[in-house]
């Protein structure tokens, strides 16, 4: 019996950002019906109409199920946020029948699973495809007692092919931009097979569709995994590019596949390398006559990229201690150690221009300028603003005062930050009613109650630093603080920044110093605030995943540290190069906490 089919696809929805909540168009209803029928129902869903009340109930109930699954506001209405999620690139495997593996589902009952690549995409060299497929399978063989062996003749357990349109399995591809790939769960016949749409552009970078990420997802289905509703999981339904250098299977996926096959034990090296053979590899396609797309993004002409990316650090002073080796993608953030700051080659960054604005005294924020807006001047790209001179820091700080409340565990691998910000070169991480301070002047992490330092501020949802002030947000209000002083007249309402009344809470905020903009994150969108003019930029809010590729769909906390921005969601964070819009690596939140 053929295994169940899983499909990686892109759902194209027009005008997804402007769908009215009360009266979606018939076209949108039809597309939503098709989406829900494919991914959230075993028997199909009828779109609502004025004739059949049962159809309306079925559609609304299924829509609520979909909204709950993706963490949206559960309204049962086809609003713009719901349509945006439906428009994301994703896998076509159904979402509601199985969120994870459970007893009775198919699995491979053998220690070695064979695979064969029957033909190759002309987008990449054959050796690149071989290495990428082996790497995608090794993600699993690293953590389960299962090995993979490539063969070049006959029928393998997993047959891999690149085909377009109708290719003989009653699930034809639909051309560029639609279905990306599909796979079958373990079983006889087509069970385990993985097919990739040749009409797509396959790459090893963030351009087009990354073959490693799509293949690793589809091989999860080929091993018996279904979808996960954890946004950071490999088996999350939507396609999203992340850095693949040193990629390790995320925790949710690791637990799922180990629940099926068990944990890999001993010191045996998992096998995913192609098996040596004297037989020539069959092919009906020619090698590319020109070099394929580069595997990394091209360097901008105005900003040469350094040979290696500089490591993050909370110590701004330069020393001569060499940097550690590059880190794998998913691992704790590095402990701050004195490291030299790398200089890009062959041309240094442009010299930073001094900030011409004087430091204003605290005033109600923001105050729109009455004069007409001048013609925008070209935006230079200097290096980040120099950090203000540090004030004297104590050699140690007291830990949190004893209370009857549970104190957050800073070393937990599941640590989630409420907010984070840098203040005068130190990094502050907020959790519940406490904060941790990572000082640049002495080793270690101190912990205090928020209210013991800033009276009247009990919790912090978001925070950022601008000039001499820091701004703390909780619910629909905010405070301006300087050092340990809460400025008079606060808290003030969020509406001062120009937010609509529908925004009652900010998830995260970060000031991008070289742009003079503060980014505010609210659910799956973000705003850009012009600090100098005291108003929001036009054209916002915008979707996070579209403008910041690799960051994800939501942000819990954000902060800037030297040349990089850091965006956290759940227990992990990405180190982000904002100018190049690329992820440097993925880290664990507790890596900043000096844990053994």
The last residue of a domain, from among 237, 261, 285: 261
519: CB partners within 8 A, 6+ apart:
509, 510, 511, 512, 526, 527, 528, 529, 558
Give pLDDT, residue 55.
Answer: 46
Q: Is residue 218 among the annotated active site residues?
A: yes
Determine whether the annotation assigns residue 411 to a binding site.
no
Same domain, 500 and 562: yes
Orientation of helix 126-141 relative to helix 211-222, angle to 10°: 50
* Cα–Cα distance, 416 to 410 (Å, whole number): 9
| CATH code for the domain of 87 | 1.10.101.10
- DSSP string covering 90-148, please? EE-S-SSS-SS--TT-----SSEEEEEE-S--TTS-HHHHHHHHHHHHHHHHTTSS-EE
Same domain, 146 and 15: no
Residue 571 lies in a domain: yes
Same domain, 124 and 252: yes
Same domain, 218 and 83: no
Least Cα distance to 134 among 123, 124, 147 occurs for: 147
Determine whether the annotation assigns residue 227 to a binding site.
yes
Same domain, 245 and 356: no
The last residue of a domain, from among 62, 91, 120: 91
| CATH code for the domain of 575 | 2.110.10.10
Residue 509 lies in a domain: yes
Same domain, 349 and 481: yes
* Cα–Cα distance, 425 to 443 (Å, whole number): 14
Same domain, 78 and 119: no
Determine whether the annotation assigns residue 235 to a binding site.
yes
Determine whether the annotation assigns residue 47 to a binding site.
no
Residue 310 lies in a domain: no
Residue 524 lies in a domain: yes
CB 253 within 8 A of CB 227: no
Same domain, 482 and 366: yes
Give the SS3 label for residue 58: helix
Same domain, 60 and 143: no
DSSP state of 17: G
Element (H, E) at 492: strand 492-493
State the alpha helices, DSSP H only, in 305-367: none
Residue 325 lies in a domain: no
* Cα–Cα distance, 267 to 351 (Å, whole number): 51
Regions of the chain where pLDDT drops below 50: 1, 10-22, 42-56, 97-104, 267-269, 273-364, 366-400, 402
Give the SS3 label for residue 274: strand
Residue 203 lies in a domain: yes
Q: Which residues pair with 449 in a beta bridge?
A: 434
Give pLDDT, residue 104.
Answer: 47
Determine whether the annotation assigns residue 191 to a binding site.
yes
Give pLDDT, residue 460.
Answer: 97
Determine whether the annotation assigns residue 418 to a binding site.
yes
Interior angle at CA 587, CA 585 and CA 589, nearest 5: 150
Same domain, 64 and 161: no
Element (H, E) at 31: helix 26-39
Determine whether the annotation assigns residue 166 to a binding site.
no
Same domain, 409 and 499: yes
| CA-to-CA separations, 264 to 111, 144, 145, 258, 560, in angstroms, rounded | 11, 4, 4, 8, 39
Residue 163 lies in a domain: yes
Provide the domain count of the chain. Answer: 3
Active-site entry in 218, 311, 480, 575 = 218
Residue 289 lies in a domain: no
Determine whether the annotation assigns residue 414 to a binding site.
no
* Cα–Cα distance, 223 to 183 (Å, whole number): 10
Structure tokens at 496: 């001062």
How far apart, in Å, do the first and last CA atoms of the chain sit? Answer: 50
Give pLDDT, residue 175.
Answer: 78
Give pLDDT, residue 7.
Answer: 60
Per residue in 41-65, pLDDT tens? 543 333 444 334 344 457 787 888 7
Determine whether the annotation assigns residue 169 to a binding site.
yes
Determine whether the annotation assigns residue 123 to a binding site.
yes
Give pLDDT, residue 141.
Answer: 96
Q: How does 168-206 read in b/e, with b if 16+ C-beta sit within 10 Å?
A: eeeeebeeeebbbbbbbbbbeebbbbbbbbbbbebbbeb
Determine whether the annotation assigns residue 577 to a binding site.
no
Provide the domain limits for residue 154. 112-261
The last residue of a domain, from among 217, 243, 261: 261
Residue 175 region by backbone torsions, left for phi larger than 0, else alpha for psi between -120 and 50, else beta: left
Same domain, 336 and 214: no
Residue 591 — φ and ψ, nearest 5°? -65, -20
63: CB partners within 8 A, 6+ apart:
32, 36, 76, 77, 78, 82
| CATH code for the domain of 171 | 3.40.390.10
Length of the chain: 596
Give pLDDT, residue 310.
Answer: 37
């Amino acid at each position: 019996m053929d295994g169940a089919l899983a499909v990686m696809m892109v759902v194209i929805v027009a005008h997804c950002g402007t769908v009215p909540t009360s009266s979606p168009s018939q076209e949108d209803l039809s597309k939503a019906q098709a989406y829900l029928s494919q991914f959230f129902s075993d028997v199909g869903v009828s779109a609502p109409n004025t004739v059949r009340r049962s159809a309306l109930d079925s559609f609304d109930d299924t829509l609520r199920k979909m909204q709950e699954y993706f963490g949206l506001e559960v309204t049962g209405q086809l609003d713009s946020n719901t349509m945006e999620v439906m428009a994301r690139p994703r896998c076509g495997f159904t979402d509601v029948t199985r969120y994870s593996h459970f007893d009775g589902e198919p699995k491979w009952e053998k220690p070695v699973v064979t695979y064969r690549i029957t033909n190759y995409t002309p987008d990449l060299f054959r050796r690149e495809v071989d290495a990428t497929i082996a790497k995608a399978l090794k993600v699993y063989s690293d953590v389960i007692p299962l090995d993979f062996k490539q063969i070049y003749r006959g029928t393998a357990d997993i047959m891999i092919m690149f085909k377009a349109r109708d290719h003989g399995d009653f699930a034809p591809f639909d051309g560029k931009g639609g279905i990306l790939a599909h796979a079958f769960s373990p079983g006889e016949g087509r069970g385990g097979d993985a097919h990739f749409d040749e009409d797509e552009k396959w790459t090893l970078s963030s351009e087009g569709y990354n073959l490693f990420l799509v293949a690793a997802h589809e091989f999860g289905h080929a091993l018996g995994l279904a979808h996960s509703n954890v946004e950071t999981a490999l088996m999350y339904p939507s396609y999203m590019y992340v850095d693949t250098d040193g990629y390790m299977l995320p925790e949710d996926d690791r637990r799922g596949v180990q629940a099926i096959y068990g944990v890999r034990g001993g010191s045996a090296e998992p096998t995913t390398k192609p098996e040596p053979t004297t037989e020539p590899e069959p092919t009906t396609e020619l090698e590319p006559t020109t070099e394929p797309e580069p595997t990394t993004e091209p360097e901008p002409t105005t900003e040469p990229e350094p040979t290696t990316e500089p490591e993050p650090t909370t110590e701004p002073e330069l020393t001569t201690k060499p940097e550690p080796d590059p880190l794998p993608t998913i691992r704790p953030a590095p402990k701050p150690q004195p490291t030299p700051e790398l200089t890009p080659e062959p041309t240094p960054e442009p010299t930073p221009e001094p900030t011409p604005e004087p430091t204003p005294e605290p005033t109600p924020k923001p105050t729109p300028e009455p004069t007409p807006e001048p013609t925008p001047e070209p935006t230079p790209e200097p290096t980040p603003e120099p950090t203000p001179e540090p004030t004297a820091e104590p050699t140690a700080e007291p830990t949190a005062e004893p209370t009857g409340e549970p104190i957050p565990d800073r070393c937990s691998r599941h640590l989630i930050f409420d907010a984070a910000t840098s203040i005068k070169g130190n990094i502050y991480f907020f959790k519940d009613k406490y904060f941790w301070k990572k000082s640049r002047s002495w080793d270690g992490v101190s912990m205090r109650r928020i209210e013991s330092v800033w009276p009247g501020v009990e919790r912090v949802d978001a925070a950022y630093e601008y000039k001499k002030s820091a701004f703390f947000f909780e619910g629909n209000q905010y405070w301006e603080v300087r050092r340990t002083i809460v400025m008079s007249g606060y808290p003030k309402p969020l509406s001062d920044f120009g937010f609509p009344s529908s925004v009652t809470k900010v998830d995260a905020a970060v000031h991008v110093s070289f742009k003079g903009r503060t980014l505010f994150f609210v659910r799956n969108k973000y705003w850009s605030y012009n600090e100098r003019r005291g108003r929001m930029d036009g054209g916002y809010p915008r979707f996070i995943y579209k403008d910041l590729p690799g960051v994800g769909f939501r942000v819990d906390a954000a902060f800037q540290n030297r040349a990089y921005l850091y965006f956290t969601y759940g227990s992990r964070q990405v180190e982000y190069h904002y100018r190049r819009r690329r992820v440097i690596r993925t880290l664990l939140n507790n890596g900043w906490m000096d844990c053994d």
